[in-house]
Amino acid sequence: MLPDDEGYLNYSEVTSILEESTGIFIGGGDTEKYHHYYANEPIKSLIKEKYNRGIPIGGSSAGALILPEISLISPNDTKNGEMISKDGIGLLNDILIGVHFTEWNKEKNLVAGMLKHKIAHGIGIDEEACAVFRNGQFENAYGEAVHHLRLTDIAEGKYEKISD
């Protein structure tokens, strides 16, 4: 469910739809707007509740960026052209997500976010790829490439690529 042309989201209608859902998918779009609508109350709690009950949750692009505990929004997706971090929905802990990873050359951005928030793991998802998480843990990758980065030394800013 998306906001109307004036930016109004009918929370009553969205709540009703979410309560009945057997799966939730948040697509791509304006990351800051999606964050505003879906990573804040009352929608945030409903999505988390569904996830905790085993309902599958998916997202692409902006939809994927808002799912972790910390939502790292790249300079490509902000009005001011700077990287920003906000509280996300909170389905994944100690993991940051970067999308359009290879296509937008986002490795440096993802690592900067990992260092800033002292988050050990970063998952960079290419446009033709999908990362699957189960119970908050990375499980599998499909498609072109999913890049798993792990900080090895926060003080030195060192990291390693676990997979490509």
| Mean pLDDT, the chain, whole residue set | 93
Residue 1 lies in a domain: no
pLDDT for residue 57: 96
pLDDT tens-digit map of 29-52: 999 999 999 999 999 999 999 999
- b/e 79-95 (16+ beta carbons within 10 angstroms → b): eeeebbebebbbbbeeb
**Domain containing residue 128:** 11-163
What is the domain-level CATH number for residue 119?
3.40.50.880
Residue 3 lies in a domain: no
pLDDT tens-digit map of 136-164: 899 999 998 999 999 999 889 899 998 75
Q: What is the pTM of this model?
A: 0.91
Domain count along the chain = 1
